[in-house]
Amino acid sequence: MTARLFRVIVPVTNLEKAAAFYETALGVRGERVSPGRYYIDCGGTILALFDSQAEDGRQSRSNPGHIYFACPKLEEVLERSKAAGAEIEEEIRTWPWGERSFYARDPFGNPICFVEEGTHFTGGAFIE
């Protein structure tokens, strides 16, 4: 049996704003599952928007590293992300390992990256 990633936590401070941002940027709907959690299914891995203040009275910080999303129609994702309030850190470009992507931060400071589906690098031949 192989382990598989099934849920990724993204700390937020306003669940409604976070849900609106990610639903707009990703073009998919999610569901509220508790007072401080909102789940969006991203191809079998759940993006769990988590407001710890609403859930258990604690404050949380943004994630330190990027979460990567493989998406079709990258230009549309970029435009939706901008409209939803993303801070774009790096416009669309193609990297030496073949990925075509852009880097951003969500409205809560979490670093995210959107990679054009079919160009995402999962290991193997690239060595520089």
User: 60-109 pLDDT, tens per residue?
Assistant: 899 999 999 999 999 999 999 999 999 999 999 999 999 999 999 999 99
pLDDT digits over 42-61, tens only?
A: 999 999 999 999 988 888 89
> Residue 74: left (phi > 0), alpha (psi -120 to 50), or beta?
alpha
Mean pLDDT of 2-17: 96
Mean pLDDT of 23-39: 97
Please tell me whether residue 103 adopts helix, strand or coil conformation: strand
**What pLDDT score does 15 carry?**
96
Per-domain boundaries in the chain? 7-116
**What pLDDT score does 99 carry?**
95
Kindly tell me if the per-residue pLDDT of 118 is higher than 80: yes
- Per-residue confidence band for 126, with pLDDT thresholds at 50, 70 and 90: low
Sign (positive or negative) of CA dihedral 3, 122, 125, 90: negative
Please tell me whether residue 90 adopts helix, strand or coil conformation: strand
**What pLDDT score does 102 carry?**
98
CATH architecture of 7-116: Roll (3.10)
CA distances from 15 to 36, 37, 127 (A): 7, 7, 40
| CA proximity to 72, closest of 116, 28, 104, 27 | 116
pTM of this prediction exceeds 0.85: yes
Give the rounded percent of residues in the chain with a pLDDT score beyond 70: 97
Q: Any idea what the Cα angle at residue 118 is, between residues 115 and 122, rounded to 5°?
A: 75
- Per-residue confidence band for 123, with pLDDT thresholds at 50, 70 and 90: confident
For residue 22, what is the enclosing H or E element? helix 15-26
